[in-house]
Amino acid sequence: MKRLFHVGLVGLVAALALASAGCKTRAKNLTALPSSEGRGGSSTDLPGGRPLPPTQGSTGGGNAFNGVPSNAGRYTPNANPTGVDLNSGANNLDPNRGNTALPTGDLGDGRREDREMFRGNTVYFEYDRSAVKKSEQAKVAAVAEYLKSNMDSRLQIEGHCDERGTEGYNLALGERRALAIRETLLNFGVPAANVTTVSFGEARPADSSQNDSAYAKNRRGEFILLVPNGTALR
Amino acid sequence: MIRFNIHRRGFMAALAVLAIACHARAQEVVVTGATRELVPIALSGFTGEVDQVLRFDLEVAGFAVVSAEKASYLLNGRNGDQVEGTLTDKDKRSLFNGGGRAYPGGTSRSQAHSLADDVVKMILKYPGIARTKIAFKHETGQRNQHNEMISEVFVADYDGANAFQLTQDGTVSRSPAWQPGHRTLFYTSFRPGRPCIFSHDLATGARSPISNFNGMNDGAAISPDGTKIAMVLSKSGSPDIWVGNIDGSGLRQLTTTREAESSPCWSPDNRTLCFASSEGGGTRLQLIDLAGGPMRPLNIGGLRGATEPDWSPDGKYIAFTRMGRGENFEIYRVDAKGGSPEAVGPGEDPSWAPNSRTLAVIRRQGGARKLSLLDAFTKQAKDVTTISGSCGQPSWAK
């Protein structure tokens, strides 16, 4: 019970973005992600959603039947998403310690995405596995070297899966893959606060074919460099 | 471009085929364990859309619509200005008090749903679900300027009619979950540039960010009493189960494994969570109490590859997806206390209806994924044929 209370307290502290307290209940060698503002966060600019149209009163409480919903079919892609909302305030973090304290702030502010820089470094995984294979380590090491000599750069790792898993399972597996790559980077000396993760599960295949060759291309982790605006690349 | 095709002829033809298929299947049902047989019923006097709606509703509920000679019950009526019906058994005894029932007001579709619900309640003795709603993720294959496959959250009548696109974020929106007893949906959207969980009031359209940490913010599940949220966050370095208040405050980390947890769902007493965990290799179902203590495996008789559990509202069963190698996914249900699981039918990501009997599931058909309604008792499946594109992650409003 005491332990549970402690876990709750740590969660609360993180939620309030007061960071810097260690998550000591984590027994194993995991490295916490740099924290964002957590609850609430920077989404105050989020446009309101859509209300469901009112139902038409009847004995059945049923709805008007009009076949084609009036607004279905019109996607209005967001022209200007707020950008990758990472976190920047991280300092003095020992990547080998694990259970790293959560700093605050947004890594992604004023940054642009570079998806090409490390395209050749995409890490591939075995079926249903999240371990970074030995044969893939050199790719990660190269990314680590770049990050260590460009300490103002930040990195997002995207985890992806092939479609041979349920959606719920693959979302978690994709995240595990991204986190495994992250741990590898940290072992190479990249500061924990400079790297975050996102999972797309099976939703963004590199190859939409349904064969082993396509599946192998889809089980991957991609590196997206977040470059400060105004910085020349390469 | 999404199109919700209600080509009436095509729809009628599809329903006719389904009716025939289901009729054929009715002969094959074998009663084992808790499995029940389809109840044969005949319809007469209804036309057009009302006839289609009644057939669909009754077949989803566990009836087989058959000819009068083979039927145990007869639903006779008409639809003009309003739907009217009488329900009799083989001995021509009326099952509706006073003989007939009329359904004025609303649309003929809603009138037909109401009549079907009355028939279900009278004969099968459980509340009908014909006027419930389902939220789901929907994809058209369209990508946005970031090359992300766009998915949006939709809400539709349980039969796919009146589908309504709730989100218009033009990015990845997924994992919808209803707040029981409220007209509020929780879901994950990448609208802020990365995955965040939002609550969305369906009456006003107002939405609020609930969880916005770095890493994973997904798998929202709201407690049956509507006061707490369970979700999967990876901010600690691994995808773990966290629980907080409905507004995202007061977060507690419940699991601390190195491996991934996913798909939390709640027991009806709000005290226990069931979820999938890959701790120990493979994936298995685990339980954890909010009051404390370690996670403990749910006994499913050694079946491997169990994911995506959903706890029935009456507390008796947990439905889940069993992953075979490849895309061989099967829905199972198991006693919530553990035991020998029973295969219900092909599909994934089950969500229980309020009746604790019907499951909304997803079935892969070629490249597309279709919403399907699966009766856990008779194992009869009815595909929702009115929605084009790919559906995923159904959440049945309760």
Domains in chain A: how many in total?
1
Closest chain B C-alpha to A55 CA, distance in angstroms? 9
CATH (domain of A145)? 3.30.1330.60
Both tokens assigned to B67: 């000819």
Q: Do A43 and B114 touch (CB under 8 A)?
A: no
- State in Å, rounded, how far the first CA of chain A is from the last one: 53
Nearest to A199 among B106, B216, B278 (CB): B216
A37 touches chain B (CB under 8 A): yes
Residue A57, in any domain of the structure? no
Residues of B in Cβ contact (< 8 Å) with A73: 1-4, 165
**Predicted local confidence at residue A122, as pLDDT:** 97
Residues of A in Cβ contact (< 8 Å) with B211: 38-39
Query: What is the bridge-based pairing of β-strands B342-346 and B83-89?
Result: unpaired
Residues of A in Cβ contact (< 8 Å) with B321: 166, 168
Q: Is the predicted pLDDT of residue A151 greater than 70, yes or no?
A: yes
Both tokens assigned to B230: 């369970």
Residues of B in Cβ contact (< 8 Å) with A56: 106-107, 110
Neighbour-count burial of B31, counting CB atoms closer than 10 A to its CB (0-12 exposed, 13-18 middle, 19+ buried): exposed
Half-sphere exposure in the Cβ direction for B20 (13 Å, CA): 5
Instruction: Give the separation between CA B372 and CA B345, rounded to whole angstroms.
Output: 11
Q: Do B261 and A37 touch (CB under 8 A)?
A: no
Q: Is the predicted pLDDT of residue B320 greater than 90, yes or no?
A: yes
A78 touches chain B (CB under 8 A): yes
Give contacts of A 167-226 with B, CB under 8 A: 167-169, 171-173, 175-176, 179, 183, 196-200, 203-204, 208, 210
Nearest to B105 among A58, A75, A198 (CB): A58
Give contacts of B 168-207 with A, CB under 8 A: 168-172, 174-175, 183, 190-196, 198, 200-207
Instruction: State how far Cα B327 lies from the chain centre.
Output: 20
Which of A102-106, A148-152, B141-145, B151-155 is least confident?
Answer: A102-106
Residue of B nearest to A114 (CA): B146
Residue A163, in any domain of the structure? yes
**Predicted local confidence at residue B69, as pLDDT:** 94
* Cβ–Cβ pairs < 8 A, chains A and B: 346
Tens digit of each residue's pLDDT (9 = 90 or more) over A87-126: 222 222 223 323 232 223 455 666 888 999 999 999 999 9
Q: Do B292 and A99 touch (CB under 8 A)?
A: no
Q: What is the mean pLDDT of residues A64-74?
A: 28
**Predicted local confidence at residue A34, as pLDDT:** 75
Give the helix/strand (H/E) hosting A172: helix A167-187
Give contacts of A 12-31 with B, CB under 8 A: 12, 14-15, 23, 25-28, 30-31
Length in residues, chain A: 234
Q: Do A86 and B238 touch (CB under 8 A)?
A: no
Tens digit of each residue's pLDDT (9 = 90 or more) over B342-360: 999 999 999 999 999 999 9
Both tokens assigned to B327: 């895309």
With a CB cutoff of 8 Å and minimum separation 6, the contacts of B73 are B39, B40, B41, B42, B87, B88, B89, B90, B95, B119, B123
Domain encompassing residue A104: 2-37+81-228
With a CB cutoff of 8 Å and minimum separation 6, the contacts of B252 are A4, A7, A8, A11, B242, B243, B244
Q: Is the predicted pLDDT of residue A73 greater than 70, yes or no?
A: no
Express as a percent the part of chain B with pLDDT over 90. 77
> Rounded to two decimals, what is the model's pTM?
0.81
Instruction: State how far Cα A117 lies from the chain centre.
Output: 18
pLDDT category at A51 given cuts 50, 70, 90 is confident
**Predicted local confidence at residue A77, as pLDDT:** 27
pLDDT category at A210 given cuts 50, 70, 90 is confident
Average pLDDT over all residues of chain A: 68
Neighbour-count burial of B133, counting CB atoms closer than 10 A to its CB (0-12 exposed, 13-18 middle, 19+ buried): buried
Q: Do A1 and B292 touch (CB under 8 A)?
A: yes
Closest chain B C-alpha to A10 CA, distance in angstroms? 8
A64 touches chain B (CB under 8 A): yes
Among B280, B282, B278, B332, residue whose Cα is nearest residue B309: B332
Secondary structure class of B392 (helix, strand, coil): strand
Residue A67, in any domain of the structure? no
Identify which has the larger pLDDT, B192 or B396: B396
Q: Is the predicted pLDDT of residue B23 greater than 80, yes or no?
A: no
Q: Which domains does chain B have, with CATH numbers?
A: 38-124 (3.40.50.10070), 133-396 (2.120.10.30)
Average pLDDT over all residues of chain B: 89
Give the helix/strand (H/E) hosting A147: helix A137-149
Residue A59, in any domain of the structure? no
**Predicted local confidence at residue A28, as pLDDT:** 53
Residue A202, in any domain of the structure? yes
Nearest to B110 among A62, A67, A78 (CB): A62
Residue A193, in any domain of the structure? yes
Helices assigned H by DSSP within chain B: 8-26, 48-61, 108-124
Q: What is the mean pLDDT of residues B193-200?
A: 91
Q: Is the predicted pLDDT of residue B237 greater than 80, yes or no?
A: yes
Residue A51, in any domain of the structure? no
Identify which has the larger pLDDT, B208 or A8: B208
Q: Do A57 and B247 touch (CB under 8 A)?
A: no
**Predicted local confidence at residue B35, as pLDDT:** 62
Residue A175, in any domain of the structure? yes
ipTM: 0.84
